[in-house]
Structure 1
Amino acid sequence: MGVPGFYRWAVRRVPHLRAKSTGPPYNSKLRYLDFNGVVHTCVNDWTLQEEEEYLFQLVEAQLAVLLSLVTPKVLLYVALDGVAPRAKMNQQRSRRFRKAQETDSDGIDAVVDVFDRNAITPGTPFMQRLSNRLRSWAATQAAVPDLQGLSIVISCDLDPGEGEHKIMEVIRNHPEHTHCLCSNDADLVFLGLVCESEHVYLLRTKPNYEKRVPTNTGQPQAAEAMDSDAVPEMPVPAAPAAAASAGPMAEDYEMLSIVALRAWLSSQFPDCLPNRLLADFVAMCCLVGNDFLPHIAAVDIYDGGLDKLLAAYYRLKPALNGYLTTSDLTLNLPRWRGLLEQVAQEEAELLLTTLGLGWGPKQLPYRGPGPPVSTWDGLSVVVSPVPRKTTAAQLSAAMSKQGSIVKSVHQLKQSRGPASWLVRFADAASAVRSLVATRRVETQRLQGPSARLTTKQTNKVTTSLAWEAADWQEELNTAVRESFEYWLGPENLPNDSFLRRHVRQRRDRFVPLRVFVMFRRLRVWMQDQAQLAKVLRSSELLEVWGEGRQAWVRHKVEAVQMLRPASGLQFCPNLPKEYYARYAGPVACGSPAADSGH
C-alpha cells in the first residue's frame, strides 16, 4: 500500500521524526531488511549488466554498508518478496505492462537495459541464484568475530508473502525488543504504527541523496580494449571496494523514529485510545494514496489532503462518538460516512471545476475606497498616491483614457510621502467611470481614485478654481445597470465561471444581489442593496425579485437559453475521462483499453 508523498508530509509535520540524537552505528537487537528495494537500488548502479557477478558484489557491498549503520545483536532478517496475494499480483502485472508500454513509446530515445527487471519476481532463475548467493554470504558472515551469536535468516522468494509482511510476522512474536527496519517503502511505516511493539525505527535513504558515479567501473581491461585493435578479453569482475562506491553510502541514510510519529498523533488526539487512533490513521491514509483505490482529488496529499482528513477526524470526536475502525480492525461504515461527508463538498467543487463550473480563482480582499457620499459634486476625484515626479500633463493624459474627458488637474499640497492630485472632469459620466478604471503613469499603476473629498483637501486647491457640480446620481445608476446587463448577458456569462455557477444553482436562474455587492466595481459605486434593486428594476433586460437584502436578479432571456440543461449535458461524458486521467486508479488484468470502445 504505497502512499506517495507521505514521507515529505511526515517530516514536515512530526517533530523529532529524524533520529539525530545519536549517529551511526545505531544499536538494535533485531534488524530487518526488506530486500527487494536493495536489489532494485543495486540494479540502478549496475553499469555493465552482462556480468551478474558484479551485481551480486554490489548487493554484498550494500549489505556491508547497512550492517555498519545498525549492528544487530540477536537477529538479522533478510526478506525477499515471495508470492503476493492475488490483488497485489494483478497490480504488479499492470505496473510492469505499463512500464513496458512507456519504454516502447519512447522509441530510440529509450534507455535499453540488458537486464529485465521482471526477473526480480518470485520463482525466476535469477531469484534462485540471488537466494543462493545470500545464503553463502550469511554462512560467511557467521564466521566474523563481531557477529558471533547473531542469527542471520534469509527468507527467500519461495516463502509466500511480501517482504514487509514476513517482517511483521517476526515482530509480532517478539514485541518486547527494539526493532529496526530498512526500506524506502511507506508500507513499513504504517505496519510499524499498528504493530504491538512500542520501539520501532526505520532506516531509509535520504530523498535527495546524489548517486556517486563510480570512478572505477571494475573493468579497466574492457575499457582499454575499446581504444585498441586487440581482441578484447573477458571482463574482469569489479572489486568489492569499487562496488561499494557505486551505491548509497552510510551518509546517504537516515533513521526515522516511528515512536515519534506515534507520540505526535497521540498529542493531537489526547482523548483517543492509542491503538484505535493509529488504526484509524492508517485507514485514512488509504484515501490519500493507495495502490488499489483511485485517488480522491479533494484529499490529495500534495494539496494538504491528509491535514484535511485529520481536521475532519477531530470534528468527529472519535473518543466520544466512535472510531472509524472496530476493535477487530474492520471498518465502521456509519462513522466513515460522517468523515467523508465533510470532504464531499470540496470534492464536488473540484468536479465542477473540471467541467468549467467552478467558482474560479480566489479573489483578494478589497481595501480601496467606498461609494461616493451624497455631498460629492460629481466631477472631482482625488488620485492618491501618485509618484512625486509626475507632471500635470502626464496625469491628465493617464486619466483621459476610455473616453473620459479631463477638464483640469490640481496637485494638493503635501509635506511628505507620495503626492495627491485633484482631477476635475468635464462631465459626471467621466468621473463615475474613472472611479473603477485602472490608470497608469509611466507603467506605474495608480491606486483607486476616490470620490470622498474632505473639506481639508478642497481648501488646499487654489481659490481661482470655479467649483461646479453635476447631477451624478443618474450617471451612476446607468453605469450600474449596464454592468449588470453585461455580467448576466451572453457576452460575459459563458466565460465567467463564478457567475455561471451561481446562475446554475437555481432552476429559475435568479442570483442574489449579495453576490454582486462583493464585486470591486460595486464596492466603489453602490453598496445599498435596496437602492441597487430599485436601479435594476428600470432595466429592460433584467428581472428583479424580492426586496432589500433578499432581492434576486436574473437576465430575462439570454441566461435561460444559454444555460439550458442540454448544453450542460455535453460535458458530463468528459468528466470520467478528465478526472481519472489525473487521478488514475489500478487497471484490472486483461481489461480492454480505454479507447477500445467497450
Structure 2
Amino acid sequence: MGVPKFYRWISERYPCLSEVVTDKQIPEFDNLYLDMNGIIHGCTHPNDEDISFRISEDQIFRDIFHYIDTLFAIIEPKKVFFMAIDGVAPRAKMNQQRARRFMSAKNAELALKIAESKGQEIPKDKRFDPNCITPGTQFMATLHEQLQYFISMKISTDTAWQGIRVYLSGHNIMLGLCSHEPHFSLLREEVKFGRTPKHKQKSSQKTGVDGITFHLLHLSLLREYLSWEFRPVQDKLPFPYDMESIIDDWVLMGFLVGNDFIPHLPHVHIHEDALPALYSTYMQVLPQLDG
C-alpha cells in the first residue's frame, strides 16, 4: 500500500531522517523484521525490460539467502528476527495485481517480438515468470521449504543466530508509525531519484545484494519532525493535545495523497504539495472539533 513519491518527499522535507548504513555506525537493534517479497522480486527479475535475462531456481535461492544473511549482519538483532512473506491478498489488491500482471505479460510479449524483429539472439531457456511469486504456487512452496532449511542451517552453525527468536511467516509498512513504537527504523535500499540513463541500465540485470547501498530511516526522528509541524495547533485545542492521535491522523492524510486501494482524489498529488495543504487545513479544522 505504498504512496507514490512519498519517500522522496519526506527525505527532502525532513533531511535528517535517513542515514547511509556503514559498518558499526548504526544503533543497536533488538528486533529485525524483513519484508521478504521485496527481496524475492529483486532476486528473481531485477529488470523486466531485459528479455534475455535468465536465472535458475538454485541461483534465485542462493541470492535470497545471501541477501538475508547480509541484512542480518548489518543490523545484528539481539532478540527477534522475523521474515514475513505476503499471504493471500484482499480482493482489492487481487484486482490490481491481475491488471498489472496482464499488462506486464503483454509488454513482455511485445518486447520479445521487437527483439526478434531486430535479429536479437534470445536464450532458449525458459524465462522466470514473476507471476509465480503468489501464495499457493509451487515456486512459493519450494521457496518456503528452502528458507526453512536455510534458517535451520544458520541456527546450527552461526553463533549470531543463536540465542534469538527467529520467525518465518510464510505465504500461507506507514505500519512503522502506526505501531507507535518510539524507537523504530526502516532499512531500505538506496533510492536514486530521476530517470536512470540507458547506458547504466545494464547494471540492473544483477540479482542479489552485492553493491547495494542501504539507508536507515529513523521513525523516531520523523515523530519529532511531526511534533514540530503540528505544534502551532497545540494551544488552540479545546481538548487535550495527543501526539499519538496526531500521528494516526497524519497516516490518514498520507493515504489521501496516494494509496493502492483508495480512489485517488482529483488534484491531490504529493508532487503538487498536497501534504502541506492538508497540514494547513487540518490545523484549521482540528480546533473546531470535539477531539
Conserved in 2, the CA contact under 8 Å of 1:15 and 1:260? Answer: no
Q: Deviations over 1:261-316 (max 9, x none)?
A: 11111111121421111111111111211112332342211121112111222222
Conserved in 2, the CA contact under 8 Å of 1:211 and 1:248? Answer: no
Aligned partner of 1:149: which letter? G
TM-score (normalised: structure 1): 0.41
Conserved in 2, the CA contact under 8 Å of 1:213 and 1:246? Answer: no
Conserved in 2, the CA contact under 8 Å of 1:24 and 1:70? Answer: no
1:103, CA displacement in angstroms?
Answer: 3.3
1:65, CA displacement in angstroms?
Answer: 1.4
Aligned position for 2:166: 152
Matched, 1:5 2:5: yes
Superposition pairs of residues 279-318 of structure 1, within 5 angstroms: 279-316=248-285, 318=286
Q: Deviations over 1:334-370 (max 9, x none)?
A: xxxxxxxxxxxxxxxxxxxxxxxxxxxxxxxxxxxxx
Greater share of helix: 2
Root-mean-square deviation over aligned CA pairs: 2.8
Aligned position for 2:43: 42
Distance 1:39 1:21, change over 3 A: closer
Superposition pairs of residues 309-388 of structure 1, within 5 angstroms: 309-316=278-285, 318=286, 320-322=287-289
Aligned position for 2:197: none
1:44, CA displacement in angstroms?
Answer: 2.8
Q: Deviations over 1:390-415 (max 9, x none)?
A: xxxxxxxxxxxxxxxxxxxxxxxxxx
- Once residues 142 and 83 of structure 2 are traced to their aligned partners in structure 1, the CA distance between those partners, rounded to angstroms, is 15
Aligned position for 2:96: 91
Alignment counterpart, residue 180 of structure 2, candidates 161, 176, 196: 196
Aligned position for 2:155: 142
Distance 1:206 1:65, change over 3 A: same
Conserved in 1, the CA contact under 8 Å of 2:44 and 2:207? Answer: no
Q: List alignment gaps of at least 5 residues for structure 2.
A: 117-121, 194-199, 235-240
Conserved in 2, the CA contact under 8 Å of 1:25 and 1:70? Answer: no
Q: List alignment gaps of at least 5 residues for structure 1.
A: 159-187, 218-244, 327-598
Aligned position for 1:74: 79
SS in 1 for 2:181: coil
Q: Deviations over 1:446-487 (max 9, x none)?
A: xxxxxxxxxxxxxxxxxxxxxxxxxxxxxxxxxxxxxxxxxx
Aligned partner of 1:86: which letter? R
Aligned residue pairs: how many?
263
1:250, CA displacement in angstroms?
Answer: 6.6
Aligned position for 2:113: 108
SS in 2 for 1:28: coil
- Once residues 165 and 262 of structure 2 are traced to their aligned partners in structure 1, the CA distance between those partners, rounded to angstroms, is 39
Q: Which has the greater radius of gyration?
A: 1
Conserved in 1, the CA contact under 8 Å of 2:44 and 2:55? Answer: no
1:146, CA displacement in angstroms?
Answer: 2.4
Aligned position for 2:220: 259
Distance 1:62 1:110, change over 3 A: farther
Conserved in 1, the CA contact under 8 Å of 2:88 and 2:171? Answer: yes
Distance 1:41 1:258, change over 3 A: same
Conserved in 1, the CA contact under 8 Å of 2:64 and 2:208? Answer: no
Q: Deviations over 1:216-235 (max 9, x none)?
A: x9xxxxxxxxxxxxxxxxxx
Conserved in 2, the CA contact under 8 Å of 1:32 and 1:79? Answer: yes
- Once residues 37 and 21 of structure 2 are traced to their aligned partners in structure 1, the CA distance between those partners, rounded to angstroms, is 29
1:259, CA displacement in angstroms?
Answer: 0.9
1:116, CA displacement in angstroms?
Answer: 0.8
Higher relative contact order structure (alpha carbons within 8 Å, sequence separation ≥ 6): 2
Conserved in 2, the CA contact under 8 Å of 1:81 and 1:157? Answer: yes
SS in 2 for 1:299: coil
Q: Deviations over 1:407-466 (max 9, x none)?
A: xxxxxxxxxxxxxxxxxxxxxxxxxxxxxxxxxxxxxxxxxxxxxxxxxxxxxxxxxxxx
Conserved in 1, the CA contact under 8 Å of 2:21 and 2:213? Answer: no
SS in 2 for 1:140: helix
SS in 1 for 2:226: helix
SS in 2 for 1:256: strand
- Once residues 109 and 24 of structure 1 are traced to their aligned partners in structure 2, the CA distance between those partners, rounded to angstroms, is 48
